[in-house]
Amino acid sequence: MLSHWLLRFDLHRLILALAVLGVLATFGNSFYAIHQAQRQLLIDSTLEANRVYATKLAASAEAMLNAAQGQLAYSATLLAPLLQANDIAGLEQEVTQLRERTNTFNSVAVVNTESTIVAVSPETLKVKGAKLSSRSARQTLANQQPTISDPLISLSGNYLISLSYPVFSTDRRYLGYVAGTIYLESASVLSSLLGQHYYQDGSYLYVVDRQKTLIYHPNPKRIGQKIGNNVVVDEVLQGRQGAQAVLNSRGTEMLAGFAPVAGAGWGVVAQRPRSATLAGLDEQMLDILKGMIPVTLFILFVIWLSATIISRPLRQLANRARLMDQQEAASNISSIRAWYFEAAQLKQAILKGLGLLNTKIDQLHTDSHTDPMTGLFNRRAMQQMLDGYQAQARPLAVIALDIDHFKAINDSFGHDVGDAVIVALATLMQRDLRADAALCRSGGEEFLLLLPGVSLVQAQRIAERLRQTVANHEMEQAGCITISLGVAHWPGDASDLGAVLKQADKALYQAKHRGRNCVVVAGA
């Protein structure tokens, strides 16, 4: 079963199968490599885009905070004489103008050295005259320098960050500070800066302070929460910018870019779901596949055509080698166009082998039909010729002859001389024979001469001429010898050739009885 299955594979199929497998493997590997490269390109480009985006927003936030501090610094110079003179109306007017003029702060307040709020805008907050006792307020008074607070809950219950700037008199005496707040859970300059960049594909950004507390997140419920076990947050709060893949709090793999807001100790993180980044990859690969298929089909066609052309000489040699027993086998093989080295060598080898085989067959045929001593036809060849004559119904004269007193020659001179006499006689008789005559050695010193198309009278003359030729010829060592001959004719002397041979043989023996060295015609 296996051998039958294997025989179905020829060189054409094997070349085609190997080439197709190679092309398909290359196609698959290329497609996979393109997929991986495209996938990595999308990831890398998203990471880089998020890093650039986070850096840009961090720079914007830094610029916004610097601008806010600048506004507070300018206002502090205006507030100093008012605070020193305890001009409450003037203080309230200035903080209101500061809040409304810049639209940076949700609220503005002036705090004296007693940590008491002496002016506030808007007045609806109802905190004027309140004394601040929080750690952040105490630190601001103690530091006497510009400060950005950590997120805190104000006296009015708002979750916010506070930017403050110290107020000094002209003689550099510390009078307190002016503070502007930015709300974290409601509309503010921070949410305006960051919120307008919110995407609909799951991308978002968030901001953390130095305590890993969320101060901005698209989901307001997340603001104020602390983030733990996040390598991106750890990196950005160490003042580094970059990009990497990370799992968010929901276990979703995100591609995050991050950058620090150095002046505030914040970190800005912009991230996009990995799934959203790769969502268009399948469609891109389908487009690539559509582009690759025509080229691949063309390559497969070229492979099929090449395999056909390459295998054709060998296939033709294989097919015609199966018919080497036909007469035209050599010419059929010679006509094959073996256009490359291996096929040409194989063709030459087959032709050479075929020539040697034909020579060997011819030699075997000759050996099987030839007497090895004399080179005459043997009894097998004689029988085939007789069958042919009878099938053609062609008239035939038969002359049977043998050497007279041959035993005496062997006894007197030895068998070597006897064999030499037989060979010499065969050569002598062939010298004057007709082209279509067939001389056979039928056994020992006996011979049979077949003469197709010869009449009985002509055969008798030929026999007599042979007798005289032999009688007049002197053999080496043995001297002169004689022969006796019997002549018969078909269809005249018998109905079949076998009987004619017997008639000729009978006539030969009659010649022996008549004293040898004579010709006897059957029936005479």
For the domain that residue 406 is a member of, what is the CATH number?
Answer: 3.30.70.270
Half-sphere exposure of 307 (CA within 13 A, CB side): 17
**398: its two tokens:** 């038969």
Residues 458 and 326 in one domain: no
Pairing of strands 474-475, 479-480: antiparallel
Q: pLDDT confidence of 483, banded at 50, 70, 90? A: very high
Same domain, 343 and 391: no
Is 302's pLDDT higher than 80? yes
Answer yes or no: do 351 and 427 share one domain: no
Give residue 231's region: left, alpha or beta (phi > 0; psi -120 to 50).
alpha
CA–CA gap between residue 207 and residue 422 (Å, rounded): 127
Bridge-based pairing of strands 266-273 and 396-403 is unpaired
Q: Are residues 128 and 249 in the same domain?
A: yes
For residues 434-457, one letter each, b for 16 or more C-beta atoms within 10 angstroms of the residue's C-beta and e for the rest, the string is eeebbbbbbeebbbbbbbbebebe
pLDDT for position 1: 47
The reported pLDDT for the residue numbered 6 is 47
213 falls within a domain: yes
Helices (H) and strands (E) in the chain, counts: 15, 18
Which pLDDT tens digit goes with each residue over 325-359?
A: 777 777 777 778 878 787 788 878 877 877 787 77
Residue ranges making up the domain that contains 506: 379-521
What stretch of H or E contains 284?
A: helix 281-321
Quote the pLDDT of residue 196.
67
pLDDT digits (tens, 9 = 90+) for 60-85: 989 998 999 999 999 999 999 999 88
Asked whether residue 374 is domain-assigned, the answer is no
Task: State the burial class of residue 78 (Cβ atoms within 10 Å of its Cβ: 0-12, 13-18, 19+).
Answer: middle
Cβ atoms 146, 211 nearer than 8 A: no
Asked if residue 422 and residue 349 are part of one domain, the reply reads no
Is the same domain home to 337 and 384? Answer: no
Q: What is the predicted pLDDT for the residue at 5?
A: 47
What's the whole-number average pLDDT of the chain?
A: 87
Residue 211 and residue 312 share a domain:
no
Angle at 94 between CA 88 and CA 97, to 5 degrees: 140
Query: Does residue 290 lie in a domain region?
Result: no
pLDDT top residue among 445 and 360: 445
pLDDT at 240 over 50: yes
Q: What is the pLDDT of residue 493?
A: 59
Same domain flag for 388 and 489: yes
More confident residue, 401 or 276: 401
CATH of the domain at 52: 3.30.450.20
Residues 514 and 429 in one domain: yes
- Beta carbons within 8 Å of 318's beta carbon, 6+ residues apart: 10
Mean pLDDT of 178-203: 80
Q: Does residue 463 lie in a domain region?
A: yes
Rounded Cα distance, 505 and 498, in Å: 11
Strands 474-475, 253-261: pairing kind: unpaired
Note whether 315 and 455 are same-domain residues.
no
Q: Please tell me the total count of domains within the chain.
A: 3
pLDDT mean over 49-57 = 92
Percent of the chain with pLDDT over 70: 96
Position 71 in a domain: yes
Residue 7 has pLDDT above 70, yes or no: no
The answer to whether 218 and 206 are in contact (CB under 8 A) is yes
More confident residue, 134 or 463: 463
In a domain, 369, yes or no: no
Whether residues 355 and 422 fall in one domain: no
> Do 304 and 405 reside in the same domain of the chain?
no
Residue 367 within any structural domain of the chain = no
